[in-house]
Amino acid sequence: MARFKGLDTPREARRSIRPSYDPETFGRLSENFARFLGTARFLVYMTVFVLSWGLWNSLAPDKWRFDNFPFIFLTLILSLQASYAAPLILLAQNRQADRDRIQYQEDRARDDRNLADTEYLTRELASLRTAIGEIATRDFVRSELQDAVEEIAKNSGTKPKPDAN
């Protein structure tokens, strides 16, 4: 069997050597890590670790010490931890900013709908007030009827009956 079939057929996708990862899973892990770094528990753990390191390498017998006074190895470990923590914290902040932006857009859309609903209800209320203002009231109709009765009575020469309210 020939290695290449021809230029008219696409090659099959090769398996990549690079590891694949789900960015969403990695993002969630970075958020959890960043959230843990901001807790009092982390500060207590880190304080206990650094104090234990310093006390062990200061008070233990010389043959058991692995990092003498300037604590160069401790500095290396803390620098390494900080070099990983900073990008993970930034990644978590970026994800939070994305969530905040989406929430802002949804809030803005909801506010626009609420404003449109409020303006519609205001227009409807104004039209109802106008319609009510154009409706003849009972007193107005009564006075018009009394005027008409008096005019008829005047024209016919009879005396109108008093109003029996």
- The model's pTM is 0.58
Q: What distance in Å separates the CA atoms of residue 40 and residue 63, rounded to the nearest whole number?
A: 35
- Contact predicate 57/65, CB 8 Å: yes
Residues 17-52 pLDDT 10s:
888 878 888 889 989 999 999 899 999 999 999 999
Residues 76-134 pLDDT 10s:
999 999 999 999 999 999 999 999 999 999 999 999 999 999 999 999 999 999 888 87
Going by C-alpha positions, the residue among 98, 100, 96, 89 that lies closest to residue 33 is 89
